[in-house]
């Protein structure tokens, strides 16, 4: 049998599975939002749990954020504050920002990045023309490089070319994430300074976006909109065994799941069309609020 491989882009999934909960700092916010922060400094520990060193901030919604305007607004403000704080750590109070929407806009579950990028208020051209006045705080540019299968070009190569051309202070990369826990689907927003590796959550290898490869700091933002069914079944079985005080080793669970579920099966929630749009709204407006000082009129109506 081939080596078993289980995937998740969510840092909290990995932290919980590795039982290093002592690293997680939790804070209860308004509208049932829980903020979890982890500063993963230890290189050996990071390697052992399969995550890169960096700061990970996750906002988990204990109830659907899109059920009320106030809940969505509170989430946007919380994300915006985190975006400003995490980019401020990169050393610029008014950074030049390149927003990169990773993913395939032709596939709904993978369209979070492109959809978010399309909602971001771009200001770079206005400021450089001298027409912006004091209305805009930072230069913001936005691109969606699409995927290799559509363009024949690695998204990294496109982004690297733009970075070299416009020389931003920070790149904000947005992508759909994969989780092993169904409760986190479209309800958790992860921000990380550790960079991002496109398609890693579904077991594929692409050149990653981080400081080492691009030469500028990266803030990765993502929402889990898909789950690997093997991971979900393993978690469900493990939780059941724990609750029923049944002894079953995790290696045995993995073997059962691997044998019964062949192939890399990825699932998405049935409400995917709606939730991807809502999640894109939240991330885009958080970025707009952080760097332009305002939200677009469309989501305020």
The reported pLDDT for the residue numbered 5 is 40
pLDDT of residue 1: 34
What is the predicted pLDDT for the residue at 74?
Answer: 96
Query: pLDDT tens across 237-261, in order?
Result: 666 666 666 666 666 666 666 666 6
Question: Please, are residues 195 and 211 in contact by the beta-carbon 8 Å criterion?
Answer: yes
Average pLDDT over all residues of the chain: 83
**Tens digit of each residue's pLDDT (9 = 90 or more) over 217-237:** 999 999 999 987 777 766 766
pTM (two decimals): 0.85
pLDDT more than 70, % of the chain: 78
Low-confidence ranges of the chain (pLDDT < 70): 1-8, 19, 91-93, 132-136, 198-206, 233-234, 236-264, 297-301
For 49-78, write each residue's pLDDT tens digit. 888 899 999 999 999 999 999 999 999 999
pLDDT at 163: 97
Distance CA(243)–CA(252), nearest Å, equals 17
Q: Which CATH superfamily is domain 11-223+271-300 in?
A: HybD-like (3.40.50.1450)
Delimit the domains of the chain by residue range: 11-223+271-300
Name every residue whose Cβ is closer than 8 Å to that of residue 19 and which is 6 or more positions away in sequence. Answer: none
Specify the residue for token string 């993995």.
254
**Res 222: pLDDT:** 95
Contact of 270 with 276, CB cutoff 8 Å: no
Q: Is there a contact between 244 and 191 (Cβ–Cβ < 8 Å)?
A: no
pLDDT at 269: 84
Beta bridge partners of 227: 179, 267
């Amino acid at each position: 049998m081939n080596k078993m491989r289980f995937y998740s882009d969510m840092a909290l999934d990995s932290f919980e599975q590795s039982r290093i909960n002592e690293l997680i700092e939790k804070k209860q916010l308004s509208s049932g939002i829980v903020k979890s922060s982890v500063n993963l400094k230890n290189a050996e520990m990071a390697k052992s749990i399969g995550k890169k060193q960096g700061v990970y901030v996750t906002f988990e919604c204990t109830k659907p954020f899109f059920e009320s305007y106030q809940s969505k607004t509170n989430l946007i403000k919380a994300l915006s504050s985190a975006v400003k704080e995490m980019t401020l750590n990169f050393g610029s109070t008014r950074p030049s920002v390149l927003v990169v929407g990773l993913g395939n806009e032709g596939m709904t579950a993978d369209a979070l990045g492109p959809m978010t990028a399309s909602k971001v208020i771009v200001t770079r051209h206005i400021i450089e023309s001298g027409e912006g006045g004091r209305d805009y705080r930072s230069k913001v540019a936005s691109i969606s490089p699409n995927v290799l299968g559509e363009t024949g070009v690695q998204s990294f190569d496109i982004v690297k070319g733009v970075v070299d051309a416009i020389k931003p202070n920070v790149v904000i990369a947005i992508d759909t994430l994969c989780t092993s826990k169904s409760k986190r689907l479209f309800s958790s927003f992860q921000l990380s300074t550790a960079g991002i590796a496109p398609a890693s959550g579904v077991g594929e290898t692409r050149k990653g976006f981080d400081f080492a490869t691009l030469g500028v700091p990266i803030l990765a933002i993502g929402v889990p909109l898909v789950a690997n069914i093997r991971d979900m079944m393993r978690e469900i079985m493990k939780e059941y065994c724990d609750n029923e005080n049944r002894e079953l080793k995790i290696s045995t669970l993995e073997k059962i799941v691997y044998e019964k579920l062949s192939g890399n099966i990825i699932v998405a929630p049935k409400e995917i069309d709606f939730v991807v749009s809502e999640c894109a709204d939240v991330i885009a407006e958080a970025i707009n609020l952080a760097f332009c000082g305002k939200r677009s009129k469309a989501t305020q109506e």
